[in-house]
Amino acid sequence: MSLVANKDKRIRCVVPQWQSIIDEHFFLFNQAIDQLNPSIDTPYQSIQAVSSGGRNAAWYVEHPLFSGVLRQYRRGGLLGKIIHQRYVWKNALETRSWAEFDVMQYLYTQSFPVPRPIAAMYKRYICFYEAALITERIEGARTLVEVIKTLSPSDHVDYAVKVATVIKQMHCLLVNHADLNAFNILVDAKGKVYIIDFDKSRREMTQGKWCEANLDRLERHLKKVLGELGFAFMTHIRQKY
């Protein structure tokens, strides 16, 4: 049977040959996920909940093809307490998962430090849909918050330069991050900086006030979680941006 015949049109894959392998079961919709005893229907060798972020809907997943992070889209705020993970249907390209897949794939092809998107899917229910995204796992990654807490004062400037350079590169590629906070900036075991979680992010036509708005959002978050230490680190970022 050809790859086209097997293709689920609700799913997009970064590797065309995987299109006949990755199906709805990979996204674990409507399943109670037990990381210690995965369901026999689960295609993964192991599943482990992500300890921070993801609104309790993100898991590290291991498969022979990839080591990834599965994230199911969940609502926040008051509405999220009523409608947990369904969104109003418009069209496939505007689903949260496909839109984020597009932004991440664009950045990845531009050699920007972002996890490679592996697959994205939506599941439609007449006027609503659910969505999920699988991205490549960054081994040994820590959040910027965790890293800053362990840095000596002399290392602050070096890491601030790395963070500022990556943010500047993202802005030069005209990508407006919808939630640039210190938990969405990761540092791997070799000190390389990545940006993650491009949900609701978009590509702009030109640089503008949105660039400063990204920096302002990051500053507010650093000050909130790290106080004066976060403010001092952000000062270095702005100086090196």
Other C-beta atoms closer than 10 Å to the C-beta of 43 total 16
**Strand-pair partners of 66:** 63
Q: C-alpha dihedral over 210, 211, 213, 217, to 10 degrees?
A: 130
Dump strand ranges (E) for 64-195: 66-72, 87-88, 117-125, 128-136, 142-143, 175-176, 185-187, 193-195
**Strand-pair partners of 62:** 46, 67
61-64 long-range Cβ contacts below 8 angstroms, 24+ apart: 61/134, 63/26
Say which DSSP state 53 is in.
Answer: S
Contacts of 207 (CB under 8 A, 6+ apart): 171, 172, 174
Q: Strands across the sheet with 142-143, in order?
A: 142-143, 185-187, 193-195
34 part of the active site:
no
Which two structure tokens, joined as six digits, stand for 174? Answer: 């005209």
Question: Which of 41, 102, 155, 179 does the annotation list as catalytic?
Answer: 179
Q: Name the residues annotated as catalytic.
A: 179
